[in-house]
Structure 1
Amino acid sequence: MFSSGHLSFKGRGEKWNSTDDGESIATEISSVTKLEVLELCGNSLGVDASLPIAEAMKKHPELKKALWSDLFTSRLNTEIPLILKTLCNSMIVSGTRLTVLDLSDNAIGPQAIGALEEFLSGPTCFALKELYLNNCGLGSAGINVAECLIKCHEAALRHNTIFDLQVFVAGRNRLENRGAKALAKAFKTLGTLVEVKMYQNGVKQEGISALAEAFEDCPNLKVLDLNDNTFGRRGAMQMARVVGKLTKLQVLNFGDCLCRRKGSESIVMNLAMNCSAIQELRLNGNEIDVETAQKIVQMCKSLPKITILDLQQNCYGRNWSILVSHFQKPFVDFGAESDDDGSRDGDTSEEESDKSDED
Structure 2
Amino acid sequence: MLMAWVTAAALAVGPAVPAGELQKGLDGVVAIGAVAEVRDNGKVWRGSSGVAELGKTRKAPVAGRFRAGSISKTFVATVVLQLVAEGRMRLDDPVERYLPGVVPNGENITVRQLLNHTSGLYDFKKTLVMPPGAEFYTYQYRTWTAAEQIARAVANPPVFKEPGSQFDYSNTNYLVLGEIIEKVTGRTYGEEIERRLIRPLRLHGTSMPGTSTRIPGPHMHGYVPKDDEMLDFTEMNPSLFGASGELISTTHDLNTFFGALLGGRLLPAQLLAEMKEAGTEDGTYGLGLSWHDTACKVRVYGNDGDALAYQAYAFSTEDTRKQVAVAVTPNLPANPDDSVDALVDRAICG
TM-score in terms of structure 2 length = 0.25
**Quick check: which one's helix share is greater?**
1
Answer 1 or 2: higher relative contact order, Cα 8 Å, separation at least 6. Answer: 2
Look at both structures and tell me which one has the larger radius of gyration over its CA atoms.
1
Give the TM-score taking structure 1 as reference length: 0.24
